[in-house]
Amino acid sequence: MDLVELNRLVTDAITVAESLPKDSPRAWMAFREVSHLEEQIARSTQPGDVEGEIARVGAVAAALRASEPLRAVQLAQTFVGEGLAADVAAKLEAMVDEANERLSALAGDLTVQPVKFALAAA
Amino acid sequence: MIDLGDPEAICPGLPPASAAPLAHRAIVALERHHRSPALLAVTGEGDATTHEVVWTTPSQDLGPFEDHNEATRDGAMGIALAVAHRQRGWRVIRRLQSTQSEGADWLFADPGMLFVLEVKGTDHGALPLAEAWRQAQASIWAKRATPAVCVVRFAEPRAIFQTYGPR
């Protein structure tokens, strides 16, 4: 798929995602799609191009809005390692901080409690 | 002329699946005050033009089915994209996510130049031009592409379209 087509697809995906209720399951799904399209654009562009920078920030931002903080961290670490401009790298690092906060909160929520139940004969 | 019944003609590069909802919401926002055709007054850096905006009045009042703020926001985007093409000849490259790009909603190409456009809309309130410029200039993308803003008010209707770049 060429860059023009990817740009059309991500435009449509963003238009759908931004119209959905924030933090709803449908919005998570829609931003997951946006994040994957942005990642494809990132792979098709140079980290120093404007479109490449937008896509790299977009892939991470959309992962956060898709409620996928681990993916956001992994993508950001990959992109920062590509040698982005300082202000773009700083923006990604701020997103990593946000993602790590969410991951810590998730870890705090993970509690296991025994549940009693009885199997009834069919 | 801006024909909202022909979303594919709004702006080159804007895919139909995105153009249709933006045009639809522009109709919803315009129908609060006007019936087709309406004259859109556009001012910029010292110039003033008008565009006839036409649409087919929906068979029922769509207002109750649309979020007021979203219709205003997305309707303003539809109008801004049409103005960007008609007044400047710009072509859409892509949309940017709102949280990613405070101050830049769309990336455009003009031969040899890139522009990032921030769009804001209001129904009948004050045109948020200063706020739009503040956000546009604070955007990290404004260092890489020429910033531009378009603010739209549906009550008249009118728009202000400004850019720091060459015209």
Q: Is B161 in contact with B83 (CB distance < 8 Å)?
A: yes
* Successive 10-residue mean pLDDT values, chain A, 122 residues: 96 95 94 98 96 96 96 97 95 95 83 80 74
Amino acid code (one letter) for B70: E
Residues of chain B with pLDDT under 50: 167
Determine whether the interchain pair B94/A18 forms a contact, defined as Cβ–Cβ distance below 8 Å: no
Determine whether the interchain pair B140/A8 forms a contact, defined as Cβ–Cβ distance below 8 Å: no
Q: What is the pLDDT of residues B19-48, one digit of tens each?
A: 999 999 999 999 999 999 999 999 997 789
Q: What's the whole-model pTM score?
A: 0.90
Q: Is A40 in contact with A6 (CB distance < 8 Å)?
A: yes
Determine whether the interchain pair B96/A50 forms a contact, defined as Cβ–Cβ distance below 8 Å: no
Determine whether the interchain pair A91/B99 forms a contact, defined as Cβ–Cβ distance below 8 Å: no
What's the alpha-carbon Rg for chain B, to the nearest Å? 15
Q: Quick check: B56 contacting A, CB < 8 Å?
A: no
Distances from the Cα of A100 to the Cαs of A65, B13, B137, in angstroms?
14, 37, 29
Nearest to A15 among B13, B18, B100 (CB): B18
The Cα A79–Cα A89 span in angstroms is: 8
Tokens representing A60? 């991470």
Amino acid code (one letter) for B167: R
Please confirm whether the linkage preceding B157 is cis (ω < 30° from 0): yes
State the pLDDT at residue A117: 83
State the pLDDT at residue B101: 57
Residues of chain A in contact with residue B137, where contact means CB-CB under 8 angstroms, are: none
Which residues, in sequence order, are CB contacts of B62 under 8 Å at separation 6+? B24, B27, B28, B31
Left if phi > 0, otherwise alpha if psi is -120 to 50, otherwise beta: which for B127? beta
Strand runs (DSSP E) across B2-145, as ranges? 2-3, 38-43, 48-54, 91-95, 106-110, 113-122
Please confirm whether the linkage preceding B58 is cis (ω < 30° from 0): no
State the pLDDT at residue B100: 58
Residue B38 pairs with which residues in a beta bridge?
A: B53
Tokens representing B156? 């008249």
